[in-house]
Amino acid sequence: MRCDDLRYTTRKKDGKVHRYWRLVRSVRVGRRVIQQTVAQLGELDARGRLQARALARRLIGEPEQAELFDDGKQHLTVPVRLKGVRVERSRRFGDVYLALALWQGTGLADLCEKLLPSGKEAVPWAKMAAVLVAARLCEPSSELHIAEDRYRRTALCDLLQLAPDLVNKDRLYRALDLLLEHKAELEAHLSRRCGELFSVDNEVLLYDVTSTYFEGEAEANPLARRGYSRDHRPDCKQVCIALVVTFDGFPLGYEVFAGNTHDSKTVQTIVESMEARHGVVGRVWIADRGMSSAENLAWLRQTGRRYIIGAPKAELRKFAAELAATSGWRTIREGIEVKLVRWPDTAETAILCRSADRRTKEQAMHDKFSRRIEAALAKLGARSEPSTKRLSAAQINRQIGRILLRNQRSAARFKITLPAADCPAGLRLHVELDQAFDDWAAISEGAYVLRTNIEDWNDEQLWRAYIQLTQAEAAFRIHKDQLRVRPIWHQRADRVQAHIPVCFLAFVLWKCLEMWQHRAGLGNSPRTVLDEFACIHSHDVILPTTTHGEIRLRCIAQPDDAQAHLLDRLGLVLPKRMRAGDLDLPLALTA
């Protein structure tokens, strides 16, 4: 059973009552009926609808019945033999239609047509690129799977007017190679186009590094190395990907480094390459503490670049007096306090931050590991004290070392000695708690420090800018979880380099859809919208007539209530039919 409904909740804010709507679906699971939220619809206000429709017009143009969706049979009247009516050739339509709308709206379709020449057999490489990126956005899979199965199950062949027999793995690989050759032009274009569509501010740039691992030995790839794995796969070779996004999380560019490259070694390369493509004036670079080497900070200061960079936890000890002082702190958000002080020995500003939630978490972790150490030491002592033979101090020390290694966060709290004793064991276990550890924990738990050379921002602006690094972290999660940039199955170095830009372009479309949803009051889950639209199929309806033989109509299934609500909020109108059996027409999408 499946039915859709609108539900609302009310909330009082600023003396007004706001009614927030959500679209829910009732689904029977066994004997129970559960409610699934399809989309958050906000306040369903007229202003939101107008904004969404205006953005839809900028993305995909004015509504029109393009040739691709006009089969010339709208006004044909013929007698039909009902006995022979049938449906054939069901294809996924809605999600790939939306993906191609975004592909065109971002200008990538036109740009690829200019950059990528036609193949030897007149294969349009721009369309092959569209196949790769649309497939990565809607249903990530390998090039072989796209060629042998996925492409023929979608309406891409109709929308792109590209016959299925022209889409094979070799052509898809060639399209990968061609896209990689124009990486810089693609990034520069996206920066301009998405600034026009979404008013993206690229003055503040967020920078982070992640890793993605290989299946296989990757012996032919010099960048494939073992290093610190963010995917918890130290057994696999990997490459590191440095990604730059705007303050709103829109991607501007990336670079690929060897898998054993330390984060700090990527900074100068990525800064210079991004500034070469997007300009230098007014840029503010924001990065986490992995980038904060003395060499990088000196280089950024000497070259006049502005930055906000997280500092290692150990740097907090330089500010013990300021942390302990109760004056100078300002609450900038519930549970967040900030204090600005001068960084010792430099002209930088130190941004001391305290988080109540982070303090609670760190206290709980210290308590947890302290209890573990105490329990393990008590067990060790209970086993050693009654011993009737002489014990080896070296052996006991190794056991203590293993205990502390497993609980490093609280290891420094314990002073453990093995003094000689007048007993058969020859020694005893003596444990003291280090009061200095507890004193430092009391003022440092929940605290962290940032450093910046920006002089004209206040404490709240500096903190909020740094916290936006979560946008870069979210971008990596989407790349890995939704677009499946990992694991990499390609073994050749050039194919690995070509795999990543397809994922990058798919993320560009993902982010465009997310920003479109946000303006339409639909939350920030593109996968929900794509999954809903994937249920909209195209079908060939065959009508046997008494006068015209068989008429084949390629029809688009009408959306259900939930899908209709989403389409309305996004300002989209799906076509009702497409031309059947004609693969020579240019691609055109309607809204």
Res. 130 pLDDT band, cuts 50 70 90: very high
Instruction: Return the minimum-mean-pLDDT range out of 63-67, 150-154, 190-194, 279-283.
Output: 63-67
Alpha-carbon gap, residue 349 to 449, rounded angstroms: 10
Alpha-carbon gap, residue 138 to 484, rounded angstroms: 11
- In this structure, how many other beta carbons lie within 10 angstroms of the beta carbon of residue 347? 9
- In this structure, how many other beta carbons lie within 10 angstroms of the beta carbon of residue 34? 11
Supply angle C-alpha 324, 326, 330, rounded to 5.
115
What's the confidence (pLDDT) of residue 423?
A: 76
Single-letter residue type at 320: A
Q: Across the chain, what does the average pLDDT equal?
A: 85
pLDDT digits (tens, 9 = 90+) for 393-426: 888 899 999 999 999 999 999 999 888 877 777 7
Q: How far is CA 231 from CA 225, 342, 484, in A?
A: 14, 37, 12
Mean pLDDT of 480-503: 89
What's the confidence (pLDDT) of residue 126?
A: 92
Alpha-carbon gap, residue 391 to 419, rounded angstroms: 12
Mean pLDDT of 109-124: 84
pLDDT digits (tens, 9 = 90+) for 207-248: 999 999 998 888 888 999 999 999 999 999 999 999 999 888
Terminal Cα distance for the chain, rounded: 31
Closest of 484, 583, 574 to residue 537, by C-alpha = 574
Model-level pTM? 0.83
Note whether 439 and 328 are within 8 A (CB).
no
Alpha-carbon gap, residue 46 to 223, rounded angstroms: 52
Residues 6+ away with beta carbon under 8 Å from 114: none
Alpha-carbon gap, residue 312 to 315, rounded angstroms: 6
Residue 347 pLDDT more than 70?
Answer: yes
pLDDT digits (tens, 9 = 90+) for 244-264: 998 888 898 899 999 999 999
Residues 6+ away with beta carbon under 8 Å from 390: 424, 425, 426
Note whether 580 and 157 are within 8 A (CB).
no
Note whether 247 and 231 are within 8 A (CB).
no
Single-letter residue type at 78: V
Mean pLDDT of 551-558: 88
**Three-class SS state of 305:** coil
**Three-class SS state of 524:** coil
**Three-class SS state of 163:** coil
What's the confidence (pLDDT) of residue 1?
A: 42
Sign of the Cα torsion 502, 267, 222, 480 reads negative
pLDDT digits (tens, 9 = 90+) for 301-315: 998 899 999 999 889
